[in-house]
Structure 1
Amino acid sequence: MLGNAISGEGPGRRALILVENLSVPFDRRVWQECTTLRDAGWTVDVICPQGTKRDTEPEAVIDGVRIHRYPLRAATGGPAGYLKEYGSALWHTARLARKVGPVDVVHACNPPDLLFLPALWLKRRGARFVFDQHDLVPELYLSRFDRGKDLLYRGVCALERRTYRAADIVLATNESYRDVAMRRGGKRPEDVFVVRSAPQIERFQPVPSEPELKRGKPHLLCYLGVMGPQDGVDYALRALAKLRDELGRTDWHAVFVGSGDAFDAMVELSKKLGLAEQVQFTGRIPDADLVRYLSTADVCLSPDPRNPLNDVSTMNKVLEYMAMGRPIVSFELKEARVSAGDAAVYAPANDEARFAELVAELMDDPDRRARMGKIGQERISGPLSWENSQASLLAAYAAACRDHTPVSAVEPVRTGKRQRS
C-alpha cells in the first residue's frame, strides 16, 4: 500500500486525529491526511465537530475512516463565547477519545491550541503526539482582534508553548511555520516536518467557460474562500471601487464565493461602495458550481492584507486558483510569493489602488493571463503536489513511531452507515 516503503510503520497501527475548527471530510487537508494514512496501512479515527448542512451524522465510516462527531455551537459574544465553545469541544473530545481506546499516534490539528490537553491524556497511555499546526494562533489573535499584546495574547502564547512542549513531532504547513516551531517552540529540526496543503486535483478540473456567468460583461473576476475579518474581502471591494471610479473600468463582473464571520458585513460594504450591481456574493456553493465560476474567471483575487498571520501563511485559495490555471492578483506576502511565484502579480502590501491597476493590466492582456495560468498548474502538479506532502507526512509518522511498540489490540474498522464527501 501507499507509503509503506517510506514509513515502514503503517500496518497494525492506529491513529486518532483531533479537529475542532471544521468538520471532516469538509476539512480537505485533514481528509487528505486521513486517506494517506489509511492507504499506508493505518487504522484511522477522527474526532471533530458536526457540520451545519453536511457532515451531520454523529458517527460515520467513510472510505474506511471512522469519524466521531460532536455538536458544537460557534463562538459568539467575544472571549466568553470562545471559552464556552472550546470548553464544550474539549469535553466532547475527551469523551469520544475514551470511546476510541488506545492508539499509537494522537494527531491534533489547531486552532485552538488546547487540544494538547486530551493529547497529553493519550500520551500517558502510550500514544505519541503529532501537532499539526494549521495556524499560528498568537499571530491569528493579533490579526483578528486588533487588541495588541494584552493578557489574552499572552495566554494564547502560553498555550502554544505548552502544545510545542507536549508534541513529539510537529507538522508545519510551510517553511515559515517550521521556523517558528524551531525558534519559538524550541523543537529540533529533525522533529518538524513541512506538510504543505494542496488542492485535490480531481476536485479542480477545468470545464468549458460559460460566458453567461459574466452577466453581460467582457471579464469575470473571482474570489474564493473564507470571509473573516483578516481575509481581506474589504480590501478587494475597495480595490474594485477604485477600478471603477479611478480607472473608469466597468467592463467586469465580480463573484465572491464563500462565507464566514464577515459575510454580511462584506455584502453591506459592497452596497455602500455602490457595487451591488457588479458584485455577486454566492455563499458556499457545490463544487461543480465553484469549478464553473473558476473556469470562466479571467482574473482571481487574493486580497489578504499583510499582517502578522497572513505574511507567513499559505492561502488555500491561491493553490486552488493555480490548480484551475487562473492568473492571480495578490498583495506582497512572503508565503504568497513562495506558493504562486510567477502565477501571480503582486501589489505593495495593502495598496488597494495598485491592486486595482494590476487587475486592469491582466484584464487587458489575455496572453499573459494564459502564461500565468500554465505556470500555476505546473507548480501544483510538480513541487506543490500532494504527493510530495504525502511523503513528508509518512516520514513524520515514522519518526513519531520510531522505537515505539504498536498498541497490542487493534480493532478492525466496524461497519456503519457509509457516505462519501
Structure 2
Amino acid sequence: MFLGTYVNFLKPFIPRRLQILIRRGLVKWKLQSCGDIWPIDKTAAKPPANWQGWPEGKKFALVLTHDVDKEKGVKNCQKVMELEDRLGFRSSFNFVAQDYSVPPEIFKLIKDNGFEIGIHGLRHNVNIFRSEKIFSKQVGQINKYIKEWEVAGFRSPSMFHNLEYNHNLDIEYDASTFDTDPFEPQPDGTGTIFPFWVSGNSNQKGYVELPYTLPQDFLLFILMQEKNIDIWKAKLDWIVAHGGMALFITHPDYLNFNGDKLGNEEYPSQYYEKFLEYIKTKYKNQYWHALPREVAAYWQHRKNDDNFIVKSGKQNRRACLLYYMKFKGSAMLYREAKSLLDKGYEVDIICLRESKQEKIIQSYEGLNLFCIQSRPASEQQAALYFLRLITFCLKSFFVMSYLGLKNRYDVVHVTSPPDIIVFTTIIPKLLGAGIILDIHDIGPELFMRKLNVPENKPIIRLLKWFERLSAKFADHVITVTDIWRDKLSLRINQGKKFSTMMNVPDENLFQLSTARKPQLAEARILFYHGSFEEHFGVDTLIKAMPMVKQQIPQIQLFLYGGGRLYSTMISLAKELGLDDCVHFQGSVPFYELPEILKQAEMGIVPTKAAVFSDEALSMKSLEYMTLGIPIVISGTTAHRYYYNDDMVKFFQPEDENDLAEKIIALCKDNAERNRLVDNANIFLESHGWSCVKEDYYKIVDQVSSKRQKS
C-alpha cells in the first residue's frame, strides 16, 4: 500500500494521457514476472472446508458489478441495464458519493428493475485506508450514505482495503479485494475464488468479503489494449471447472455504445455483450446468477451451519520469516511459516539456498522463498563463518526493506543466531510491523562453544551487549526452553517480553505410522540425524559402536545430516573398523526425513553436557517421540528438565561406555521400548505442536495488533 498511496497522491499532477502511458508500460513490464499467478492463480481454487456447493445445485456463481467512477459513467448506466435486461442478467452499480450527483431517476430505475446499488467510497482519488485515523474521520459519512441509499455493500476506490477497518462500516458485504491482481496499487490477493466471512470481535459485526475473480475491463482493454475477450473466457472456464464465484467489474465510464471512434479510455460495448452471450450460451442453466447482496445473505446463512466453514485463506495479512538457514534443512522454519499460512497470512521467507546454482526466488506450498545466499555444508574457518553472517545480514536488510515497503508486513519473525539480524527489520518496524525475535540458539554461549573461549572475553561481552539491544528492539522474544527464558530475562531485564515455545515437530509432517512393522525382540537399526558439530556428540556415539557391535553383531547405525565434522566422523568410523555397520547418508530435505526415520527401531541423541549444548533441548528427540521411536539420550540439564526415566533412556553425557551399555540393554528389551514410547506419547499430548501452535498464534496476534493500530 505504501507505493500505491504515493502514486495516488501524485495523480493530480500528471496529465491523464501520460498516466495511462506510464501504467501501460508498468503493466507490460510486470506481466513478464507474474504469469504463474495471473490471470489464474491455481492455489485460489481450493474450496472452503466442508463446501457443499451453490444454491439449486448450480455449478458456479455469477455476480456482475459496475464501478461508476465519473459522471460519464452515470450517463451510461441506463444503457448497461438495458443491455443486461435484454440478455436476462442483473447487476450492481457502485457510485462514488461526493464526486458527482446521481439523478434520483437513475436510483429509481435501478431499484425498480431489480438491480442493486452500492457505495464506491466518498471520493475516488482518496485512499481512506492510509491510516486508522484517516479512516475514522470518513466512516461516519460513509455510513450516512449507506443508510440514505439503503445499500448493503461497499467497494473502495482503486481497491484499497483493510478488512479490520471495515468492521466499522454498516455493511453486509465488502467487495474491495480480488483473488489475484498484481497490477492493483495494493496487490495483495485473497487467494480464493470463493466468498469468505470476516468475523469481528465481541463488539464488532462480521461481514462477507466478495473478491472479484475476473480481470477488470480497464486493465484488459485500456491498459493492456486487448482486442478480444479471450482472457475473460479462459478465466471464466477455469472458475467454472473449480466451482467458484465468477465476480467481475466493468466500468460504464469506459464502455462505448455508439460505435464511434474509440477514445483513449474506451472499449466497444460489444466486448461486454459478447461475454454475457458466451456465459448464457455455454453455461446455460449451470450458474447461480445473484446480486452481491444475495450472495452475502447466502453466505451469512451458511456460516451458521457448524459443518460449513467460510473463511478466507489469507484475509489480507502478511508475514515475513527471516532465518540464516537453508529452507530444505529446517523443518522448524517450514512449520512456523505453514502455521501462519494456515492462520490466513501471506508468507514470505528470507533464507539461505543449497547452492549458487539454485534459484533465488522460489515458492513451496504457497510460501514465497527468497533464498538470498548460499552456504557451504562445512565451514572450517571462523573468519569465513563470520564474514558470511555479516554478508547475509546486509543482504537481508536490503531485501527486507524492499519487501517491507512493498508488502507492509503485519508481523516479521526473525530467528537467531545472529541476534543482530533483527535490526534488518528496521523498515518494516517503522511501517508498523510487529517484530518477533526467536532466540533458537542462545548467542553468547553458542559462540563460547564454537570459539572455545571463556565468558569474560571481550567478544563474548560484545555478543551479550548485542543480545540485549536486539531483545529491546524486538516487540517479543521467543526462546525454546524455560532455562534460556529465565536466563535471558535476568540478563536483559525484559521479562514480560519473553516466552517459551518448545521446538517441537509438526504432527502433520511427522505422523505416527499406524502400520509400523511389529518390533523384533531385539532392535537392530539405530538412527542419528542432525548436525555434525562437536557439541552434538556424534563422536561419542561412534566410539560406543564397537562395544554395541560385540554384543549385537547385526546392529546397524544410519547417520543423516552434515556439518563441519562430517568427514572427521567418517574417518573415525573407518579407524574403528565400523564400515560394515555405520552408514553415513548425508543430508536430506526436511520433508523427506519423516519417512526415512520411520525405518528406525531406536533413535540416539548423544548431545554433550557442555557450554550451550547442556541447556539446549534436542528437537531430534521430539521427532523420534512423535514417530513412536524409543530414544537413548544424554542426561543433559535440558533433557532432564523436560524428560524423565519413564519416557527416555538416559546415559551419562560424553561417556561412550555408558551409552553402549544403555543401547545394548534397550535393544534387548522390547517391553521397555514399548513402555518408553507409550509414556512419550502422553508427554506429547500436552507438548506437541498442536498445543504449542496456539501459544504461537497468541504471540503473533499480540505483536500484529501494533500494525493494526498504526
Provide the TM-score with structure 2 as the length reference.
0.51
- The change in CA–CA distance for 1:273 and 1:5 in structure 2 (over 3 A counts) is farther
Residue among 561, 564, 567 paired with 1:264? 567
Which of 157, 169, 182 is matched with 2:489 structurally?
A: 182
Q: Residues 234, 12 of structure 1: CA spacing in aligned structure 2 closer, same or farther, 3 A cutoff?
A: same
Matches within 5 A, 1:4-403: 11-20=315-324, 22-24=325-327, 26-52=329-355, 56-74=358-376, 76=379, 78-100=381-403, 101=405, 102-149=408-455, 150-189=457-496, 191-205=497-511, 206=513, 208-209=516-517, 219-244=524-549, 248-285=551-588, 290-291=593-594, 294-341=597-644, 342-380=646-684, 382-403=685-706
After superposition, the C-alpha distances for 1:26-82 in whole angstroms (9 at most, x for unaligned) are 42212221122222222322211222399x332233333322221233484533212
Letter of the 1:144 partner, please give it: K
**1:17 is aligned with what amino acid?**
L
Q: 1:258 to 1:61 in 2, by over 3 A?
A: closer
DSSP-derived class of the 2:327 partner: coil
Q: Secondary structure at the match of 1:115?
A: helix
Task: For residue 171 of structure 1, give the secondary structure of its aligned residue in structure 2.
Answer: strand
The answer on whether the counterparts of 2:331 and 2:591 sit within 8 Å (CA) in structure 1 is: no
Counterpart-to-counterpart distance in 1, 2:545 and 2:387: 39
> Contact 1:6–1:394 at 8 Å: present in 2 too?
no
* Per-residue Cα deviation, 1:331-387 (whole angstroms, up to 9, x for no partner): 11122234443221111232221111111110111111111122223433x112111
Describe the shift of the 1:287–1:128 C-alpha distance in structure 2 as closer, same or farther (beyond 3 A): closer
Q: Alpha-carbon deviations, 1:380-416, whole Å to 9, x = none? A: 3x11211111111111122223454367xxxxxxxxx
Unaligned runs of at least 5 residues, structure 2: 1-47, 50-197, 203-313
8 A contact 1:236–1:352 mirrored in 2: yes
CA–CA distance in structure 2, aligned partners of residues 361 and 349 of structure 1:
17
* Kept after mapping to 2: 8 A contact 1:318/1:336: no
Q: Distance in 2 between matches of 1:83 and 1:310?
A: 20
Instruction: Show CA shifts across 1:275-332 (max 9, x none).
Output: 2222111112467975565334332211001012222212111011111211111111
Find the aligned partners of 1:336 and 1:238 in 2 and give their Cα distance. Answer: 22
Cα distance in 1 for residues equivalent to 2:480 and 2:613: 13
Q: Which amino acid aligns with 1:184?
A: R
SS of the residue aligned with 1:126? coil
Q: Which AA in structure 1 matches 2:372?
A: Y
CA separation in 1, counterparts of 2:533 and 2:678? 30
Q: 1:83: how far off?
A: 2.9
For residue 503 of structure 2, give the secondary structure of its aligned residue in structure 1: coil
Whether contact under 8 Å (1:209, 1:296) holds in the other structure is: no
User: What amino acid is the match of 2:469?
Assistant: R
| Contact 2:524/2:556 (8 A) holds in 1 | yes
In the alignment, is the contact (CA less than 8 A) between 2:625 and 2:677 conserved in 1? yes
Q: Greater CA deviation, 361-370 or 158-167?
A: 158-167
Q: Can you give the 5+ residue segments of structure 1 that lack an aligned partner in the other structure? A: 408-421
SS at match of 1:71: strand
Contact 1:133 1:173 in 2 (8 A): yes
Is the CA contact (8 Å cut-off) linking 1:324 and 1:377 kept in structure 2?
no
User: Following TM superposition, by how much is the alpha carbon of 1:194 offset from its aligned partner in structure 2, in angstroms?
Assistant: 2.0
Instruction: Report the count of equivalent residues.
Output: 395
Equivalence for 1:412: none
Which structure has the greater CA radius of gyration? 2
In the alignment, the residues of structure 2 paired with residue 240 and residue 392 of structure 1 have an alpha-carbon distance, to the nearest angstrom, of 41
Is the 8 Å Cα contact of residues 325 and 372 (structure 1) preserved in structure 2?
no
CA separation of 1:116/1:371 partners in 2, compared to 1, >3 Å: closer, same or farther? Answer: same
1:7–1:398 Cα contact (<8 Å) kept: no
Cα gap change, 1:95 to 1:281, in 2 (>3 Å): same
TM-score by length of 1: 0.84
Cα separation, 1, equivalents of 2:595 and 2:367: 30
**Contact between 1:131 and 1:171, CA under 8 Å: does it hold in 2?**
yes
CA contact (8 A) 1:210 1:296 kept: no
Partners of 1:107 and 1:285 lie apart in 2 by: 25
Change (3 A) 1:195 1:289: closer
User: By how many angstroms is 1:139 displaced?
Assistant: 1.4
Q: Describe the superposition over 1:253-278 as per-residue Cα deviations: whole angstroms up to 9, x where unpaired.
A: 21112222211110001111222222
- In 2, are the aligned partners of 1:193 and 1:393 still within 8 Å (CA)? no
Q: Residue 314 of structure 1 aligns to a residue in which SS?
A: coil
| Cα distance in 2 between the residues matched to 1:97 and 1:282 | 36
Instruction: Output the CA distance in 2 between the equivalents of 1:403 and 1:259.
Output: 40
1:199-249 deviation line (CA, Å, top 9, x unaligned): 2323334354499xx9xx96122212221121110011112234346xx44
1:40–1:289 distance in 2 versus 1, CA, 3 Å: closer
Partner of 1:70, secondary structure, is: strand
Residue 241 of structure 1 aligns to which amino acid in structure 2?
A: P
Contact 1:129–1:169 (CA under 8 A) maintained in structure 2? yes
Distance 1:209 1:257, change over 3 A: farther
Q: Distance in 2 between matches of 1:288 and 1:320?
A: 13
1:145 counterpart letter in structure 2: L
Question: How far did 1:127 drift?
Answer: 2.5
CA RMSD across the alignment: 3.0
Name the amino acid aligned to 1:194.
T
Code of the residue aligned with 1:361 in structure 2: it is A
Give, in whole Å, the separation in 2 of the partners of 1:322 and 1:31: 19
Go from structure 1 to structure 2 and tell me whether the alpha carbon gap of 1:157 and 1:288 turns closer, same or farther (over 3 Å shift).
closer
In the aligned structure 2, how far is the partner of 1:11 from the partner of 1:374? 40
SS at match of 1:43: strand
| Paired residue type of 2:558 | V
